[in-house]
Chain A
Amino acid sequence: MTKRTAISSSDRLVKVPTGIAGFDEITGGGLPAGRPTLICGSAGCGKSLMATEFLVRGASQYGEPGVLMTFEETAADIRKNVSSLGFNIADMVAQKQLVLDHVFINRNEIEENGDYDLEGIFIRLAHAIDTIGAKRVVLDTIESLFSGLNNQAILRAELRRLFGWLKERKITAIITAERGEGSLTRHGLEEYVSDCVVLLDHRVIGQVSTRRLRVVKYRGSTHGANEYPFLIDTNGMSVLPLSSAAMDYKVSNLRISTGVPELDVMLGGKGFYRGSTVMLSGTSGTGKSSVAACLAHATCGRGERCMYFSFEESQAQILRNMRSIGMDLAPHVERNLLQFHASRPTVHGLEMHLVKLHRLIDEFKPSVVILDPVTNLSTAGNVNDSNSMLIRLIDFLRKKGVTAFFISLTSGGRAAEATDEGMSSIVDTWLLLSDIESGGERNRAMYVLKSRGMPHSNQVREFLITSRGVRLVPTYLGPTGVLTGSARLIQEAKDLAVETSVHDELRRKELVLDHRRQAVEAQIQALRAGFEAEQQEFSRVVATERSKNTRNQADRRATAKSRRVGSNGNGMAH
C-alpha cells in the first residue's frame, strides 16, 4: 500500500499496512514502520485480536513474519482464537511465518533478590526474531509483568530499554496495554511508546454495545481523529471510516424499473434513477414489502444483484409471502442474485449495523439495496442516531452508485409526511402508501410524494395486491372523496351504464333525424313534380296562343286579298 520509495523514506514516515479493513484507510497506510505502537483499551475490547490480526495478516499477506509474545494467553489459546478468524496458526508456525512465545510468571515460585534485568525477555525476543527474520512483533500484554514482578523501577527502566531496542532493530511492534483510570494505560506505558497510540473502546448504550477505535496519537502523520466504530466477526476486525462521507459522488441518468409497470408510468414512464435513494412510507399492512419485493424481482430479472436487509421478517417468510402474490424469489436466491440478511435491529448498535452493511455491500456488490424497515433501527438507538446512521449509509450507497430502497413504517394516526422529517430531505424519490377506509372497506392507495429530476404523476392510485403481483389502478374522485375498492367497482359499473344509455339516446335521435330527412326529401320531390306540371301547362298555353295569333294574321291577309281593297277598305266587299 503506502510503501514509499527508498529516497523519500529517509524524510518521510514509512507505514506498514496492517491488513485490517478500514484501519489502513484512517491512518493513511497503517502503522509506523519500525516503531512500536501502543494499543490500549479496557478488558475485552479487542486489543489482542487486533494485534494478532496485524501479525497474522502481515505474515500471510505482506510477507512479514512476526513474533507474538503473550503474557496472558497460552499458545494454545492463541491458536484457538486465531483459527476462528480462518487462519491456521499451526501451519504458519510450521512454515516459519510466525513464532509464538508465552511468557509465564508464577508469582508463587518467584522471589526477588537484588539487582536484575529483563534480559531474559530480550534474549527470547531476539532469538524468535532471528529464527524467522521477523519484521513484526506483538507484546500482549506486557503490563502483566507489573503484577508478576515487584521492582517497578527495574521494570520501567527495562521496558524503556525494550522499546528502544525494538526501534533500533527496526521492528514494527504492537504493545497492548490495559486502560487505566484517568490515563491511557494502567502503568503509564504511553510515556515510553509514543509514536502511535490507538485507543479501543467498548461502550454499552441502551443495552447495546458498540466497539470504537480512535487514533489518539500518530507522530509525524495525519490521521483520522474521530472515533470509528469497528466490528469483530469471522473475517477479523474491520474499522469503518465514516469521514469519507463526502458529497462528491457521480450521478447517473440511467433509470431502472420499479418492478411495477404502472409505478414506472407514474415516475415519468421509466422508473427510479440508478443510484438514487428511494423511500417508501406507509402504515403497517399497506404492502410496502411487496413493492420492495417487486423491485428485487425486477432487478434480479435483469441479472443484477439485489441485497435485502430485513429487520422484521426472515428470508423464508418473505419468500413464502411473495410467492402468495405470484412472485417467486427463490430462483434469484439460488442464482446468488438476491441475498437476504435478516436480523433484529437490537442485535448490534447502530454503528455496528452500519459496519456490517458496509461490509456485506462491499462483498456482494449489489446494484439495489433494500432496507425493510429503516424505522426499526431506531430501536437500537434513538431516532437522531438512526437518522444520522442512515444518512451516512445513503452517502455510502450513492458513492457506490447503488440504488437504495428504504421502507419506512409510519404508525397509524400520525401524518405520514411528518414522521420522516429527518429523512425526507435526503431521499430522491418518496413514495407513500396509505390506507383509505370507507364504505366498510380498507383499501390501499399510493402516490409519489416527490421524485427529484423527473416528471412524475400527481395522481393517487389505488394499490392492489393480487395473486398475480401488485397493480396500480386509477382511483375515482367522487363527491364524497376518493373511491376505492368496491366503491370504485360500483362507480365503474355506473359509469358504464350511463355511457351505454347516452349511446342509445344518440342512436335514437339519429334515426329520428333520418326519418325527418327522408320526409323532407319526399316533400321536395312532390313540390318539384307539381311545379314541373305547371310549367308544362304554361308552355302548352303559350304555344297555343302563338299558333292562334299566326292563324289570325293569315286569315286577315286572305280576306284583304279577296276584297282587292286597300287595307283601309276592310270588309266593304262582303
Chain B
Amino acid sequence: MKTKSATGPKSPSLQNSAPAATPGRTAAEIKSDEWILRLYVAGQTPKSLAAFANLKRICEEHLAGRYRIEVIDLSQTPHLAQHDQIVALPTLVRKLPEPIKRILGDLSNLQRVLVGMELRPLTAR
C-alpha cells in the first residue's frame, strides 16, 4: 500500500505531501480522536488531483493535527480495488472514526463533504 500523510503544502500534487504526525507510531499511540482518511485514485487524473486538494483543504481547516490521509493509487495496486470494494473513483473512505463512510467524487462541494464526514451538522449550531 502506498501511504502518504499530508499536511502543509497546498500543492495539488499527490507526491509531495508531508506527514501530519510523526511517522512510525504504533497503534497504541494513535489518538482516539484521530481521523484516518483513505483516498483511492487511479493515477494523477484531474479528478483525483482535485479530490486530494479539496480533501486537504477541509482537513486543514477542521482537523488540523489530528488527521491522516492515505492515498492509494489503484493503478499501482489494482488488487486493492476488489479488496476494499472500490467501484467509483475517486473514493474517499473514512476508516476512523467508525462507522466507515465513503464519499465518491472529486469533493468539489465542500459543504457537503463536511456533512458527509460528519464534521459539521447540516444546520449551524
Interface residues of chain A, those whose CB is within 8 Å of chain B, are: 101, 103-105, 109-121, 123-124, 126-128, 145, 148-149
A110 to B102, CA, bound (A): 5
Given contacts A120-B91, A123-B75, contact A112 B103 (CB under 8 A): yes
Given contacts A103-B85, A120-B89, contact A114 B106 (CB under 8 A): yes
Q: Min CB distance, B55 to chain A, in Å?
A: 10
* B-chain residues with CB within 8 Å of residue A113 when the two chains form the complex: 103-109, 112-113, 116
Cβ of B96 within 8 Å of any chain A Cβ, yes or no, is no
A148 to B88, CA, bound (A): 11
| Closest residue on chain A to residue B117 by CB atoms | A111
Q: Residue among A103, A105, A116 with the most chain B CB within 10 A?
A: A116
**Other A-B pairs, 12, CB within 8 Å; known A110-B102, A113-B105:** A105-B85, A111-B102, A111-B104, A111-B112, A113-B104, A113-B107, A113-B108, A114-B47, A114-B50, A115-B106, A118-B87, A120-B91
Contact A127 B47 (CB under 8 A): no
Contact B116 A104 (CB under 8 A): no
* A-chain residues with CB within 8 Å of residue B87 when the two chains form the complex: 103, 105, 118, 120-121, 145, 148-149
Q: Which of B8-16, B20-28, B29-37, B76-84 contacts A (4 or more CB under 8 A)?
A: B76-84
Instruction: Please count how many residues in chain B sit with their CB below 8 Å of the partner chain's CB atoms.
Output: 33
Cβ of B42 within 8 Å of any chain A Cβ, yes or no, is yes
Interface residues of chain B, those whose CB is within 8 Å of chain A, are: 40, 42, 47, 50-51, 54, 74-75, 78-79, 81-82, 85-91, 99-109, 112-113, 116
Contact A127 B81 (CB under 8 A): yes
Q: Min CB distance, B113 to chain A, in Å?
A: 6
Q: Residue among A111, A112, A121 with the most chain B CB within 10 A?
A: A111
* A-chain residues with CB within 8 Å of residue B74 when the two chains form the complex: 119-120, 123
Contact A111 B88 (CB under 8 A): no
Contact A119 B101 (CB under 8 A): no
Q: Residue among A105, A113, A120, A149 with the most chain B CB within 10 A?
A: A113
Contact A115 B47 (CB under 8 A): yes
A29 to B112, CA, bound (A): 53
Q: Min CB distance, B121 to chain A, in Å?
A: 15
A9 to B100, CA, bound (A): 51
Among all A-B residue pairs, the 3 with the closest Cβ atoms: A114-B105, A114-B108, A127-B78
Subset of 5 A-B contacts with CB under 8 Å: A105-B87, A110-B102, A119-B42, A124-B81, A127-B82
| Closest residue on chain B to residue A113 by CB atoms | B105
Given contacts A123-B81, A127-B82, A149-B88, contact A116 B106 (CB under 8 A): yes
Contact B79 A116 (CB under 8 A): no
Contact A149 B78 (CB under 8 A): no
* B-chain residues with CB within 8 Å of residue A118 when the two chains form the complex: 87-89
Contact A109 B100 (CB under 8 A): yes
A119 to B89, CA, bound (A): 6
Q: Min CB distance, A130 to chain B, in Å?
A: 8
Q: Min CB distance, B42 to chain A, in Å?
A: 5
Candidates A112, A119, A120; contact of B105 at CB < 8 Å = A112
| Closest residue on chain B to residue A149 by CB atoms | B88
Contact A120 B103 (CB under 8 A): no
Contact B101 A120 (CB under 8 A): no
| Closest residue on chain A to residue B48 by CB atoms | A119
A124 to B83, CA, bound (A): 10
Contact B82 A124 (CB under 8 A): yes
| Closest residue on chain A to residue B108 by CB atoms | A114
